[in-house]
Structure 1
Amino acid sequence: MEKQVTVKMNKSYTILISLIVALGGFLLGFDSAVISGAVKGITIYFEMTEWQLGFSVGCVVFGAMAGNLLAGPLSDRFGRKNMLIIVAALFSISATWSALATGYTEFIIARIIGGIGIGGAILIAPIYIAEIAPPKLRGSLVSFNQLNIVIGISVAYFSNYFLVNMEGESWRWMLGVEAIPAVIYFFALFTVPKSPRWLILKLNEIKLARKILMKIGGEEYAETTLAEIQRGLDRKEEKGKLSDIFKHKYATIMIIALGIAFFQQITGINAVFYYAPTIFEQAGGSTDSSFLQAIVVGLTNLVFTFVAIWLIDKLGRKPLLLIGTTFMTVALLMATFAFNNATYNFNDDTLSKVGNKEIMVALSDLKGQSFDGQAALFTEVSAKLDDELFLEFKRNEITNFISINATLVLIAILLYVASFAISLGPVMWTLISEIFPSKIKGIAISVVGFFNSLISFSVTQVFPWELSNLGPTVTFAIYALLSLCAVFFVYKYVIETKGRTLEEVEELLINK
């Protein structure tokens, strides 16, 4: 009876410290999504162009790329726990500074600091949990980090909804509120132990490592784990070099990894997460309703992440990818269809909603006219406004005139997010952790993660320009075409890894 109690207490302790560390994932998700509610406010306050807005949103990913490159080497040198504490400090500094920023440049610097924290959290937290967790609990405990990312996104949407109508500059509150969980994370990390494996590998602190391992799993677990670590030290396998990933025998592996990393971002998921309220406003929704719809997007992402965790070992990686990318394509085509069939009507009611009086006067002679699609609308309106007013019209006034099936747009976005959440979202990271041989796994995953962040940055940078200049119809059509390409890529190149050992996967891909 006493032994059973001890095991239960050890399991509870391991779950507790894993949950604390996984708060980094929560901050990662929150920081990534909270900007969606601040887009309109920061655009007006800092008087941004489309490219400046794109960079102010996407620069977080730019910082994450630097964090990706620094996290691995620095956590090896200074320890997982110490680097996570620094990551928490970076999130705190970023949230506070971006909320208080009075100039565009300092706002960008503050956002990049948060991005570095994101890049560190997404790599270090799973590494720490994997090193601290017993084998039987490792899979579920590591998944806490991905789950917390999704929860962080949902909480950010809720937070934005409740703060949007605050007096003054509500965007400052939206960005600044992140400092609260960041500070909690910072102090909570001091209660977790250092990684036993790191203590042995870097400091040869066997006595302290044994004490931590005994608290996690008991004496037998501690001795077994210490023996495994020692065997790893005795083996001293040569680490892979960057040049190794370009060898011909790894070609198929790199095609799969880089291809999945490319399609995960190029199909527009972060554009939807970062600009969700903007998209719904483009569909004619009010500010309040667009923020409420963004909450539904976050909850959909959360629910279907649970579905993915449930299905990934039952249905398999490739079937989930094929199902998800197919329905992503369908959803994006639905959004394209909805915006393509929108009409723009000029009458007393729609003209009275225009906030800019100069624009309202210039467009008053269009009263009684209706336009099918943005191309015809832009041609007519651009002839009546100078460049500055035309930009203002596209950004803030066009939604006053649109008549669209907003329900179809909402269904399309929810279907798209749900499809992503069961496929490209979680499956990519699972797949690339399985297909790389141990010799090159560390360096290869860093390269793929950097490439994934680079594509994400490009998408978020270009999206505001696409909406204003190409219109939502063409924008969603482009994403639909890219999503269709993802279906064919998965069908042709991706192999099923379910039920296979890592050695079997390695042998299959290298022979291929």
Structure 2
Amino acid sequence: MAGGGFVVESTVKRYEGHLTAYVVISCIVAATGGLMFGYDIGISGGVTSMEEFLKKFFPSVYRKSEASSTDTNQYCKFDSQLLTLFTSSLYLAALVASFAASASNKLFGRKITMLVGGIIFLVGAFINGFAQDVAMLIIGRILLGIGVGFANTTVPVYLSEMAPPNIRGALNICFQVAITSGILIANLVNYGVSKMKHNGWRWSLGLAAVPALIMTFGAIFLPDTPNSFIQRGKHDKAKSILQSIRGTQNVDEEFQDLLEASEVARQVKHPWTNIRKRQYRPQLIITLLIPFFQQLTGINVIMFYAPVLFKTIGMGDNSSLMAAVITGLVNVISTIVSLLTVDKFGRRFLFLEGGGQMLICQIVVALLIASQFGTSGHGEFSKPVGNAAIAFICLYVAGFAWSWGPLGWLVPSEIFPMEIRSAGQSINVSVNMLFTFVIGQVFLTLLCAFKYGLFFFFAGFVIIMTVFIFFFVPETKNVPIEEMNRVWKAHWFWKRYIPDDAVGLAHDTDNNVQSNNNSNEKDKGKNVELGSTSV
């Protein structure tokens, strides 16, 4: 073992079946739930940079934003807690809603939970589009947040449970592709409506209803997952769906494994208590830290406030909105790169490469801003330096979009056993939303206080999280989610927490195969890379 990397022998199973159109269509429709989240991420920054919107709801911010660069500290001209509350209130609501979504997933299934989330989001979009005061704006954003909490808690789990193990990463990343597509669409909408003399912001906010309609009507026709049917005691329906999505009648082995996992889950009466048990320590710690680090990359500095940030560094209204469109396009393309490579190169390689790329870009952007504004905040970007800053911001977005963006949703959704899966995904979403809220609420204040040093602040966290991935996050590609305990048992650090009789280790007892990874017996020459830095 070197640097936390190692390769072990494993008895991971290969189930019969193949990728079917049924799975692909179901996963694509479900993943469109990410459009709602992405649209909201992208729309708020453009709206808060529109003059008519600021005049109506935040006149004091408008007056500061229109002051000349020699009279106003450029770092501070958008600093307003009420303005940032408009953006960040959605994520606080999503945090709370994720716990309700966890209970709904268990009681009613994935399909119903997605449907309810889409309807609530739709109501919030209409309220925002017709808002007359700040209170209506905040109420609308809270309803949008509830819808996002339901969708983000449910969709990644749905995708992981429907997908065959060998392409689970790619299908799960469809969710992130939808998120980035939503961001790009929002940026394009903002750029288009900015040319309207009146009510352009209403169109921006109200068009959030479109992805909500896609999600809502799509959920009506989606099948629920076999895991969800088993969890609710509908075994015949579960097997029928499993045969349909695997394209074969011979699903007995996989179905039996799901039943065994379900039996373990049924014995767990209190998943929120059980998730704190020692045997789930690896999953819990990783699911707490990955969404925490995902937000501390500083990505939402760009995604929420791209037009505001670009105006802060001296661009005009149209130029700042167009720069946001460019970063949105880079975001989508890079996420598709992740979709095409995650099941080939693995999760760890993308995490580590993306972290290094983001670190370099953040340092360069900080130095470029410092060269133009210093610590006083007075000045303007020259065109060459401004273009260089946009280029490195785009490289930064690319690094995030093929690593921490999609993998921050994929990895937590695939590592939990069934008995605590809904609770685990709820934790993932709630931690993500909590720190999304915190970053959204304090960013403009931090920019005012730290100046260009804010980018160094986020770069420091990128170093910490890349080291964490290197040593503590094993490779999970191609491993069936009900067999994931083998991954932890093979890891140099986490193996101390996994009992030898854990589900996923004891399936081979009939053949007298030892259930722990210290056995000398090998599995027909099949190797699985766990934590190796090689690809």
| TM-score, normalised with respect to structure 2 | 0.76
List gaps (5 residues or longer) in structure 1. 1-6, 344-372, 378-397
Alpha-carbon distance, 1:233 to partner: 5.1
Higher RCO (CA-CA < 8 Å; seq separation 6+): 2
Given that 1:325 and 1:487 are in contact with CA atoms closer than 8 Å, whether structure 2 keeps it comes out as yes
Question: C-alpha displacement at 1:211, in angstroms?
Answer: 5.8
1:479 is aligned, of 453, 458, 463, to 458
Conserved in 2, the CA contact under 8 Å of 1:266 and 1:479?
yes
Deviations along 1:426-458, one digit per CA (max 9) or x if unpaired, are: 223333345555554443342233122211111
Q: How does 1:484-495 map to 2 (within 5 A)?
A: 484-495=463-474
Aligned equivalents of 1:165 and 1:243: distance in 2? 54
Query: What is the one-letter code of the residue matched to 1:182?
Result: A
- Write the distance in 1 (CA, Å) between the matches of 2:262 and 2:471: 40
Specify the alignment match of 1:383 in structure 2.
none
Q: In structure 1, which of residues 44, 54, 60 is the aligned counterpart of residue 55 of structure 2?
A: 44
- What residue number does 1:466 align with? 446
Q: What residue number does 1:202 align with?
A: 232
Distance 2:247 2:451 in 1: 58
Which amino acid in 1 is paired with 2:57? Answer: F
Determine the C-alpha separation between the residues in 1 that align with 2:390 and 2:24: 37
Deviations, residues 339-395 of structure 1 (Å, cap 9, x unaligned): 11115xxxxxxxxxxxxxxxxxxxxxxxxxxxxx24274xxxxxxxxxxxxxxxxxx
> CA offsets, 1:104-135, max 9 Å, x none?
12211100111111111112123334445566
- Which residue identity lines up with residue 417 of structure 1 in the other structure? V
1:381 is matched with which residue?
Answer: none
**Does the aligned pair in 2 maintain the 1:435–1:506 contact within 8 Å?**
no
Equivalent residue for 1:83, pick from 97, 106, 113: 113
Partner Cα separation in structure 2 for residue 149 and residue 491 of structure 1: 27
Q: What SS does the corresponding residue of 2:409 show, helix, strand or coil?
A: helix
Give the one of 397, 403, 407 matched to 2:387: 407
**Counterpart amino acid of 1:21?**
A
Whether 1:153 and 2:183 are equivalent positions in the alignment is: yes
Matches within 5 A, 1:35-434: 35-41=44-50, 42-47=53-58, 50-133=80-163, 138-202=168-232, 204=234, 206=236, 212=241, 216=245, 220-221=249-250, 230-232=259-261, 238-239=267-268, 241-247=271-277, 251=281, 253-343=283-373, 373-375=374-376, 377=378, 401-403=380-382, 405-434=385-414
Cα distance, 1:195 vs. partner?
A: 4.2
2: CA distance between counterparts of 1:81 and 1:236?
A: 20
**What's the counterpart of residue 390 of structure 1?**
none
The match for 1:26 is 35
Of residues 232-241 and 161-170 in structure 1, the stretch that sits farther from structure 2 once superposed is 232-241
Higher CA-based Rg = 1
Aligned length: 452
| Identity of matched residues, % | 29
**Matched residues in 2 for 1:455 and 1:488: separation?**
20
Other-structure match for 1:511: 496
Look up the match of 1:382. Answer: none
User: Pairwise CA RMSD of aligned residues?
Assistant: 3.1
Deviations 1:218-270, CA, capped at 9 Å, x for gaps: 67157777655555555565326434444556555544443332221012111
Instruction: Check the 8 A contact 2:288/2:428 in 1, yes or no.
Output: yes
Q: What is the Cα deviation at residue 462 of structure 1?
A: 0.5
Cα 1:194–1:439 change in 2 (3 A) is closer
Query: TM-score of the superposition, structure 1-length normalised?
Result: 0.79
Higher helix share: 1
Structure 2 unaligned residues grouped into runs of 5+: 1-16, 62-78, 498-535
1:196·1:213 contact (CA, 8 Å) conserved in 2?
yes
8 Å CA contact retained: 2:261, 2:418: no
